[in-house]
Structure 1
């Protein structure tokens, strides 16, 4: 990995060997010392010779940017390469030029597959036989699928209120799913304790530095897909913060290597019941460490990647907004009604955030926007029913249809 130079602490700048399995900087209490993967971009640019006007078969088109050794075969299910879709009807409703990147089309239905592919590839290359993580459902499904693909054992810690529909996936993939009597943060802490006790490989995006690196391929793809037509704004939901950080890093890298001419401003969207990154960015202290939102994928009370997320917002000249659960569910229904796109609540949150940003004057009428949907609506059918309403019951009688719709 001569293109990877170090793992660097985001707080003190201490560096570590990228070939070692190191999660956080030990100079800081707990897991505050989040690490950043740094690169020799001269080597990266020399190796990256892909056609930027061609197809994107999967995220491994950008292998030159990924922290994987040349002689390692990726563990892949075809993640990445998701479509960027025009959204004219919803755009007109919001008075913006809107495109949507639907990452719910990834193999297990979530953007996290980009990160999991890299993590499981790293785990297998390091000779680890067991992978683990804490999850509200999506990371559990993603890790379960890729562990099965790699032939590794998978042990997952989920909070007791995780949606049952999401837990069916990792169970089908053969993972051990351990329901923790407590919150996501308690499940997360337990996963760290088990990692230290048993020596398992931990995929938690909050601490595994290579997770952001996989997620940043969504930024590479967007930079390529909008080449010559860079959006004014790029919108992500924020939970732990590593997704928006990764998306910005990937897009920024393409600009710094002169592969694209411009970069967008980042708009981060959080639920009111899980607002820690927004509060840190706005320098307030209102966040409750106990997350409470229908958007379980971003229900993080103590995000570990706050520093990286805030840097993405600051460096891009961006902003953040908070939305209510009701606004998120309304956005989920609006996506389906206007554009035929089915997103889980966290995936619909960027649309709710864009609507809020328009009302607040953050995003102006006529500006161009790309919103990233991070998860498929099939992940959480119960929330979808809340968003769209109940089935209308009728008798098996044509008269009932005529009464409903007219002769």
Structure 2
């Protein structure tokens, strides 16, 4: 087992270091899961091994294998995740009043951004000789992990809150996972998954505590940097919704790495968007005292009351010179409809939350109308059709007669 490019796992609180070859989740010097670990690299080794052309031809995230924390002799478990398109969005730009591009990660194999992390998790679990892998999820990570576990030949046991959308529960069941719907919140399901990991020794994919999962997510930053090189312009802002905080942290780390290695000339500011009913990272970033650890939002993928990667997320916002803000559930639903009706991109609520964030940021003067913005849609809309129905009008129910159509749209032109 060799990872010459990975130097250590470092506690984000106390700086204690641990062997990256061992299976360890958090720093044992801190109670609970507070001691989140950061993967540290030898970038000279990475630079020696990364010789890919930055030509925009990104078949999968494994184009950046030199950056990924897997052993040299590990066989990647992959479904060709990553390599998602960065779309010009002229109709959305006109509607918002600012030049906007869309990074559509809902096009990943299981329909969500989290495939980037799941590929790493299953690759590492299989290489370590683990037969069972687990995680807690509001739905997307569960579906994603189940698909990759099936691909890798591992058993998968996942914990979800009892109110997770049916579409997201159907996926892992089709993939053959054992789905345990916990009578409680996501945070309670999460705590149980950690307890079970300690009891049974299953490999835990939870991105909030497994230090290697953020590293898979950071490939979206690598891709955005490469796509910026091809376009000849680094966007002023990159916008993500925030739940546990590891997605925006990973994206910033990836883009920053390409900047520090000289592959791109500048970095964007990161804008993190949370729902009003799940605002813990925003509250921490703005140093609010009146925080609530209960999550209540229609955007189930970011319905996290006690995010474990708050520190990493806030660090990404601070280092990039970015910002965070809140949007309402109504604004999220309107954004879902707006993204679909202007650009034909169908996102689940959490995936459309960045669009709502851009509208709010423009209104509050956080983003200027002459800047360029990338919004990242993290999940495909068919995962949560019930929410989409709340954002749209009902279908027109008509009899099978021409007159019924004429009543709606008038008679045809002569």
Mark yes or no: TM-score above 0.5.
yes
Q: Verify the 8 A CA contact 2:11 2:35 in the aligned structure 1.
A: yes
User: In the alignment, what sits opposite 1:301?
Assistant: 305
The structural deviation recorded for 1:53 is 1.4
Match of 2:262 among 254, 258, 262: 258
* Structure 2 residue 396 is the aligned partner of structure 1 residue 405: no
CA distance in 1, matches of 2:34, 2:274: 21
Q: Verify the 8 A CA contact 2:56 2:226 in the aligned structure 1.
A: no
The structural deviation recorded for 1:290 is 1.0
CA deviations over 1:64-111 (Å, ceiling 9, x no partner): 000011111100001000000000111122221111100000000000
- Give the SS at the match of 1:209: coil
CA distance in 2, matches of 1:289, 1:189: 14
* Structure 2 residue 360 is the aligned partner of structure 1 residue 372: no
The structural deviation recorded for 1:263 is 0.2
CA distance in 2, matches of 1:383, 1:13: 43
The structural deviation recorded for 1:286 is 3.0
Larger mean CA deviation between 125-134 and 278-287 belongs to: 278-287
User: In the alignment, what sits opposite 1:154?
Assistant: 156
CA distance in 1, matches of 2:96, 2:383: 26
Q: Which structure 2 residues correspond to residues 94-173 of structure 1 after superposition, within 5 A?
A: 94-173=96-175
Match of 1:354 among 348, 353, 358: 358
The structural deviation recorded for 1:287 is 2.7
User: In the alignment, what sits opposite 2:274?
Assistant: 270
Q: Verify the 8 A CA contact 1:274 1:287 in the aligned structure 2.
A: no
Match of 2:89 among 80, 87, 90: 87
User: In the alignment, what sits opposite 1:317?
Assistant: 321
CA deviations over 1:32-81 (Å, ceiling 9, x no partner): 00000000000001110000014000000000000011111100001000
Match of 1:7 among 6, 9, 13: 9
Q: Structure 2 unaligned segments of length 5 or more: list them.
A: none
CA distance in 2, matches of 1:381, 1:132: 26
**TM-score, reference length from structure 2:** 0.98
CA distance in 2, matches of 1:174, 1:240: 26
The structural deviation recorded for 1:285 is 2.2
Give the alignment's Cα RMSD to 1 decimal: 0.6
Q: Structure 1 unaligned segments of length 5 or more: list them.
A: none
User: In the alignment, what sits opposite 1:74?
Assistant: 76
CA deviations over 1:328-387 (Å, ceiling 9, x no partner): 000000001111110000000000000000000000011001110000001100011111
User: In the alignment, what sits opposite 2:40?
Assistant: 38
CA distance in 2, matches of 1:313, 1:118: 25
The structural deviation recorded for 1:396 is 1.5
Match of 1:199 among 198, 201, 206: 201
CA deviations over 1:205-251 (Å, ceiling 9, x no partner): 11000010000000000000011300000000000000000000000
**TM-score, reference length from structure 1:** 0.99
Q: Which structure 2 residues correspond to residues 199-278 of structure 1 after superposition, within 5 A?
A: 199-227=201-229, 228-278=232-282
Runs of 4+ deviating beyond 2 Å: none
The structural deviation recorded for 1:389 is 2.2
